Amino acid sequence: MRRSRTQVNAILLVGDHHWRKGPKWKAALAWAFGKRERFATHLGGQATVSWWRGEPYLITLKEAT
């Protein structure tokens, strides 16, 4: 299923918030056991989001080279 650019941006924003401000134990579980999904950013980079119990966690964000 393809997501719109607005949906991808929202997922990345919420995932970054969960990773930085959420409980560290949930972030660790998301990193270890979550389902991974990769997105291309609007600047050509790659973002990896891990889903844990319906919540996104931004794992990596690589810049375009």
Rounded to 10 deg, the angle between the 24-33 and 5-21 helix axes is 130
Task: Give the model's pLDDT for residue 65.
Answer: 76
List per-residue pLDDT tens for the chain, 65 residues long. Answer: 788 989 999 999 999 999 999 999 999 999 999 999 999 888 888 999 999 999 999 999 998 77
Helix/strand/coil for 65? coil
Q: What is the pLDDT of residue 64?
A: 79
Task: List C-alpha distances in Å: 18 to 2, 26, 28, 43, 44.
Answer: 23, 9, 11, 22, 23
Q: Both tokens of residue 8?
A: 């991808």
pTM of the predicted model as reported, rounded to 2 decimal places: 0.86
What is the pLDDT at residue 26?
A: 93
